[in-house]
Amino acid sequence: MSTPATAISAEELSPRIGTPQAPLLFDVCRAEAFAESERVIAGTRWRNHMLADEWGRALDPAAEVVVCCVHGHNVSQIAAAKLRSLGLRARFLAGGTQGFLSKGGPSVLRRSWPHGLDGRPSRWVTRESPKIDRIACPWFIRRFLDPAAEIIYVEAEWVRDIAEELDAEAFDVDGVTFTHTGDLCSFDSFLDHFGVTDESLRHIARIIRGADTARLDLEPQCAGLLAMALGISALHENDLAALDHGIALYDSLYAWARHARRETHDWQPDSDAA
């Protein structure tokens, strides 16, 4: 059976998750169903399907939007229709979240979900002058948890106090959930906490760990990531500017891990050339 024009299939959506080409994703299942769900599609935010014509007005008019409910029936189709009435390019997920997850689509555990039912972007606070982990973790947050997440860099001694005052989540400091544990770095803690099984993410986690903890022998790419990260830091005194450029770096690293890991470049200079 072909997918209708107003829908997107799990097979079409899945490879776009975690990339710059991902659409805006909204889980519009009923609030009680969302609260009871164990896993959610990576990068989704919850919204009330009956109020789509209200919250849709705040979306980028040029954005592509995908809404999903449990099975892809009336709930998500109502939301998609309301969004299209505003002129948005909106589709519903055929088969719903349940169908998407049954096919192994990228997902995260809903526990400690960084954004609830109020629609506010999540906030995350960490130490200033980011190099590797404090760029990689925000990249994961924005690509797989909350695309609208606010990242705040402050002096190290004030991270936890400021996070508490702002009702935010602190990371990459001692005594918090998302930080270094033994040989693992903060990026590893995010993947473990949210139950990430994506093999490509787990592979780049080793590269990040090696670059971030001076174990450049973990993967051949560790030294290269360290050099690029230090270069980005040297170019940008502004931490948020460094984050913007760093996100592009991790987009490329993730794309390599998913699609180009076995590709080689074997050009050899002509030894007989003059």
| Model pLDDT, residue 112 | 60
Q: Which of 197, 5, 30 minimizes the C-alpha distance to 105?
A: 197
Question: What distances in angstroms separate CA 52 from CA 30, 62, 102, one per listed residue?
Answer: 13, 17, 27
CA dihedral 188, 186, 257, 10 (to 10 degrees): 70
| Model pLDDT, residue 226 | 98
In single-letter form, the type of residue at position 44 comes to: T
| Model pLDDT, residue 164 | 96
Q: How many angstroms separate the CA atoms of 135 and 144, rounded? A: 14
Q: How many angstroms separate the CA atoms of 274 and 262, rounded? A: 33
3-state secondary structure 16-77: HCCCCCCCEEEECCCHHHHHHCCEEECCEEECCHHHHHHHHHHCCCCCEEEEECCCCCHHHH
| Model pLDDT, residue 248 | 96
The stretches in the chain having pLDDT less than 70 are 1-2, 111-118, 271-274
**pLDDT tens readout for residues 40-98:** 999 999 999 999 999 999 999 999 999 999 999 999 999 999 999 999 999 999 999 99
Q: How many angstroms separate the CA atoms of 43 and 148, rounded? A: 10
| Model pLDDT, residue 269 | 80
| Model pLDDT, residue 262 | 84
| Model pLDDT, residue 274 | 46
Decide: 80 and 6 in contact? Cβ < 8 Å. Answer: yes
- Tell the residue number behind the tokens 């099984």, with chain if given: 197
Rg for the chain, CA atoms, rounded: 20
List, in order of start, the domains of the chain with CATH numbers: 7-109 (3.40.250.10), 123-260 (no CATH)
Decide: 258 and 200 in contact? Cβ < 8 Å. Answer: yes
Q: How many angstroms separate the CA atoms of 25 and 36, rounded? A: 19
Decide: 110 and 38 in contact? Cβ < 8 Å. Answer: yes
Question: What distances in angstroms separate CA 84 from CA 2, 44, 148, 198, one per listed residue?
Answer: 21, 19, 22, 32
Q: How many angstroms separate the CA atoms of 67 and 91, rounded? A: 6
DSSP string, 150-173: EEEEE-GGGHHHHHHHTT-EEBSS
